[in-house]
Amino acid sequence: MPIGAVVISALRTALFILAALVGPLAQPVAAASEGTIALEVCGTLKGHQAATASTAGSLTIGTRTFVVAPGIQPGNGGVQVAVDRDLCVEGSLGRFSNQFVRYLFFPLPPDSQLCGNVQHLSGGAPQQTSGPVVINADFGALVLTLGSGLSRPAEDARVCYVVEVARPSGDLTALRSQPVTTTNQREWISPCGTVKSYTQATPTAAGSITIGSATRAIAAGTSYTGDPAGDRTDRTTVGSNMCLEGTLGDTRAIIDYLTTAMPIELAGTASEYTPPAGPSAGVIVLSYRSHSELRVPPTIADAVDLGRGSYCYSVGVDVFGDAIATALITCGSGGVAVGPIATGIPSTAVAPGPVHQCGSFVSYTPPTAVRSGVLVIGSTIYAAAWMGSTGPAGSTPHTFNQVIAPGVVAGSQVCLDGNIATSQTEANLLTDFTVAPATAATASGSPSSPTPANPTAPTTDSAPPWILPVVAGLLASLAAILWLYRSRRARQ
């Protein structure tokens, strides 16, 4: 994201790499036809009963209780899952069944700040000074109780609140509002399609850009931002298929942006899904924070897997010039890949736990606050987690200890020692790790393959005890599965 990727504060876990490591073992048949909404819930975990293959589970955060569809298992974004802990859940909720068909635990923002657009007002007229309000936060619709003295914002207004978990209810409450000033607090957009028109802004006049069926104003005085860490040449071309990444200012006009060639393939986890209606295409929201949408025609809509949430499509444009899926494809079959997350194609899936691997160092892209990093050693690609918390609820998440030793360069022989986190949302997710030049001692054992984790290593209650053997069996039988990630320029 232009500029924004380098200034996101340590308030979120990284947006998770867009493919699930292992999908749920079962899913209600009705889920795909009803579609989902993206939901974010923060507060005190009062109860969590994991679903089984045949029975529904339940999740209680604060005063709100949700049903988890049979067969759906949670992911974990770096938080200890235990009753009476403060945490957040991001998931996809069936539009009519109101059951989670995908959900993931992650920490509360360490600076207790949340931003989003007001989705709708609930509980009465705008002049009321208390009661819940819903904002479109990073991962979905988030309900906040407004504290004393806070007035209700206007529809679709961009707001930032300092929040706390109320006691004893466990519900999230907005204490005070914050001005929207930094880039990470602002709204992001990332449409893809045919550039229909493009007028650059001048110091005194606004510009505009139309991609597909959507037109966005470019604020006066805004020049093409480009990649702060790389290419800043504006190659936006009318008639070309491109993706726009932009940050919106107070008037919802673009205040920084870049454009890139539209990929011919996309992979993603659907945070929200609207099924096709008759001949009209449906819409999958692949990245909720930047609202990256992909149309899905009725001819391939049946292939949507809401529980697993993972999609790999070839991409074209429809008659309106909007990006649309043209076929369901095998993940990792090739093609241009772009998106908000640095990615690769891991050829080897590594079980959770300690890992030791020696081989040729290929590349390393450090994690940022909006994406996991990418470490490539030999033919194995790892995701590098950005931050996490191992302390009690409310403790400040810390940056993982991730070290690339001096002297490590592309092509050199190295050894990786680290830990693979248990995650259903990121393949080969490293937390703490060290990559150092290989020596006779460190390179002992197989030089090209990661050492599998101990299958009896303890886990949190984010997955039932039988899930590890199931995962191990799946990994053994599905070793050829490739994970398509969408590559992005490294951010400062």
Are 34 and 78 within 8 A, CB to CB? no
Are 345 and 363 within 8 A, CB to CB? no
Q: Is 62 helix (H, G, I), strand (E, B) or coil?
A: coil
**What is the C-alpha separation between 68 and 187, in angstroms, rounded?**
30
pTM over the 0.75 mark: no
How many residues can be counted in the chain?
492
Smallest CA-to-CA distance from 72 within 147, 22, 30, 107 is with 22
**What is the C-alpha separation between 314 and 377, in angstroms, rounded?**
28
Segment (H or E) for 471: helix 467-477
Are 12 and 387 within 8 A, CB to CB? no
| Tens of each residue's pLDDT in the chain, 492 residues | 443 333 233 223 332 322 232 233 233 334 456 888 999 999 999 999 999 999 999 999 999 999 999 988 888 877 888 999 999 999 999 888 899 988 989 888 878 889 998 886 554 444 444 568 889 888 889 999 888 888 888 888 899 999 999 999 999 999 999 898 887 888 888 899 999 999 999 999 999 999 999 999 999 999 998 876 677 889 999 999 999 989 999 889 999 999 988 888 777 677 888 888 878 888 888 777 777 788 988 888 766 666 555 667 888 999 899 999 888 776 654 333 322 222 223 335 677 788 999 988 887 877 765 456 778 888 788 888 766 543 443 444 456 888 999 888 878 899 999 988 876 456 688 888 999 998 865 555 444 456 544 333 333 343 344 334 333 343 333 333 323 233 333 333
Are 376 and 362 within 8 A, CB to CB? yes
**What is the C-alpha separation between 312 and 19, in angstroms, rounded?**
9
Are 358 and 442 within 8 A, CB to CB? yes
